[in-house]
Chains A and B, each alone.
Chain A
Amino acid sequence: MQRFDYILKRLVMALFVLLSVSFFTFIIARVVPSDPAAAWVGPHPTREQIEKATIELGLDKPLTTQYLRYMDGIIKGDLGTSITTRQPILTDVRTFLPATLELVIAGMLIAIVIGIPLGVFSGAYRGSWLDHLTRLVSIAGVSMPAFLFGLLLQLLFFRYLGLLPLGARISTEVSLFNPIETITGIYLLDSALTGNWVAFQDALKHIILPAVALATYPVGLAIRMTRSTIIEVLSEKYIMAAKVSGIRQRTIFFVLALKNAIVPTLNALGLAFVYSLTGAILIEIIFSWPGLGTYITNAVLSVDFPVIVSVTLVMTVFYILINLLLDIIQAIIDPRVTLQ
Chain B
Amino acid sequence: MKKRKTILIILVLALALTACGGANTTPEAAAPEAEAEPAAAENNVFIYAHNTGFPDLNPASSFSDDLLIMANCYETLTFYNTPGSEETLSPKLATAWESDADSMVWTFTLREGVTFQDGEPFNAEAVKAAIDNTIALEAGASYIWAPVETIEVVDEYTVQFNLMWPAPLDIIAAAGYAAWIYSPKAYAEKGHEWFNEGNCAGTGPYTIQSYERGSRIVMAQNENYWGEWSDNQYQTAVFQIVEDPVVRQQMIEAGTASFTHDVPADNLATLDARDDVVVYANPAFQNLVGLFNTQKEPLNDPLVRQAISYAFPYDQFMQGVIGERGTQSHGPIPAGIWGHSDDLFQYSYDLDKAKELLTEAGYPDGGFELVYTFATGDLDEQQAGELWKAELAKLGITLELRPMTWEAQWDLGMSGSENAQDIFAIYWWPDYVSPISWLYGMYHSEEETLFNLGYYNNPEFDELIDIADAISSTDREEATAMFIEAQEILVNDAVSLFLYDMRNTHLARTDVKGYVDNPAYPHVVFVYDLHK
Contacts and interface: CB of A to CB of B under 8 A. Distances in A.
A235 to B, nearest CB: 20
Contacts of A278: none
Given A42-B63, A48-B138, A155-B23, A169 B407 contact: no
B214 A285 contact: no
Interface in B309-348: none
B37 to A, nearest CB: 5
B138 A49 contact: yes
Nearest to B376: A301
Contacts of A159: 23, 30, 32, 250, 254
Contacts of B457: none
A34 B408 contact: yes
Given A33-B411, A159-B23, A290 B32 contact: no
5 contacts: A34-B408, A49-B143, A155-B19, A166-B251, A172-B40
Given A44-B451, A46-B450, A290 B214 contact: yes
A176 B237 CA distance: 11
B256 A166 contact: yes
A217 to B, nearest CB: 14
A38 B36 CA distance: 43
Interface residues of B, number: 64
A319 interface: no
A86 B213 contact: no
A171 B405 contact: no
A140 interface: yes
Given A144-B16, A166-B36, A288-B241, A85 B138 contact: no
Interface residues of A, number: 68
Interface string A36-52: 10110111111111001
Contacts, number: 170
B228 interface: no
A288 B242 contact: yes
B140 interface: yes
B246 interface: yes
Contacts of B32: 158-160, 162
B47 interface: yes
A139 interface: yes
Interface stretch (B4-12, B108-116, B270-278, B466-474): B4-12
A152 interface: yes
Contacts of B56: 85-86
Interface in B23-52: 23, 30, 32-38, 40, 43, 45, 47
A162 B243 contact: no
Interface in A282-296: 285-288, 290-291, 294-295
A167 interface: yes
Interface in A215-249: none
B87 interface: no
A152 B407 contact: no
A56 B256 CA distance: 43
A200 B37 CA distance: 15
Nearest to B47: A172
Interface string A41-74: 1111111110010000000000000000000000
A162 B35 contact: yes
Contacts of B20: 151-152, 155
